[in-house]
Amino acid sequence: MLVLHEPGDGQDSNANFADLKPDDVRVYFTLTVRTETPMTGAPGGAGATLRREKLEAGDVLNERYEIGGVLGSGGMSTVYRAYDRNAQHNVAVKVLEPLIASSTGARKFFAQESRLLRQLEHPNLVRAYDVGYRGGLSYYVMEILPGGDLKTLIDKGPLSLAETMRITLPILDCLEYLHRSLIIHRDIKPSSILFNELGVPKLTDLGVAKVPSKTGTIITRAGMTRPGHIVGTPRYMAPEQIMGHSVDQRSDLFAFGVLLFECLTGRIPFSGDTEFEIMRSILENSLPLPRTLNAAVPIEVEAVIIKLMAKKPQDRYQTAAEVKEALIQVSAIQPSEVSPVPLRLPRTFRRREDEAALRRPGHPALAVVEMLAGVATEVLEGLRYISVRPSPLLCGGLTCHQSCRETASQTL
């Protein structure tokens, strides 16, 4: 992932990127640099203070998480396998690199990702359990996903259509859920899709997502993006994202198209020796046809990819639901094989129109509520009947006096 901006004051957010020269553009890569940072916990006893260049197996973070080893590492953070002493199960602990943590922007990226993962809930979105700062380390705890990532799978060769659909259709469900929550991921790529022990795909990397503010308006990078700035991974960026223009759900769908292309062909559609050349290729070059790289790709699926990766957002599919419907039709996948999107969105991000839709006549949720109300009414009527009808045990059974028998017959 990179952050790119134009030199100068950065006020011209609509400058023509294609007219820029390599020397006119500065690309900032986050570098992994390890420093000695104090942390709490050690094999020798809880609460002991260590100064290490990195967490090591046997360290205990916050007197709770026993570090077992490194699961993965990136430019901004390292993910460790750990054991949660309180919950008594394995987890993953994502730790922000100490030197990177000195950057205000990096800390905001990290805080946003942990906050979103704790607030959102979807079967194909990684879950976060805890967040903290201890001994100079910013970290959050999430479910462990030992099945590797999609990038590793693609590196072994193109996937079959069935395998591609098994992985990508649930991710589409997750994207639909995020978009209905007014969240744009902005960094969809194979390494952002991990698998649990059962092979279920999970979407991660929400640090650079475009999210709604508390007032309902849209902000970018939690208020961190200035005009002319670009965030994301160049080879998966939509043209409007490269140009620094406003992005929406259709930008995510472009990246999803690149993902489909790569799954089925084993390579990315636009390449270059540098990130700059890749971005220029996306803007200027025509999309190579997937079937020229893999003849096994059905022509109908190729047509879906072509539409997903149209240069102009208005020429693409407009929603993730449209893409899912098209893929199910052309790939002969049964809708029951795709996990449904949860009806209830997180209250933090739910739109008023979604709430209004739940009250419209004929809505499935409204029908369920009406059914439950009818059942509750019948139960209450039954309780009233029981409370009014005299009990033989209390009134003497067959020898009950005449007034009780008359009351019982009236109740019946």
Q: What residues are annotated to the active site?
A: 187
Give the chain's length: 412
**Which distant-in-sequence residues (6+ apart) come within 8 Å of 391 by Cβ?**
none
Tell me the helix, strand and coil percentages in the chain, rounded to 5.
40, 20, 40
Q: Is 150 helix (H, G, I), strand (E, B) or coil?
A: helix
Concatenated DSSP letters for 115-126? HHHHH---TTB-
> Rounded distance, CA 26 to CA 24, Å?
7
> Rounded distance, CA 80 to CA 56, Å?
9
Contacts of residues 157-160 at CB distance under 8 Å and 24 or more positions apart, as own/partner, are 157/266, 158/263, 158/264, 158/265, 158/266, 158/294, 159/263, 159/264, 160/296
Concatenated DSSP letters for 216-256? S-EEEGGGTPPTT-EEE-GGG--HHHHTT----HHHHHHHH
> Rounded distance, CA 31 to CA 358, Å?
47
Lookup: tokens for 320: 């993730």
Cα–Cα distance list, 29 to 164, 210, 278, 282 (Å): 31, 20, 16, 20
> Rounded distance, CA 191 to CA 255, Å?
13
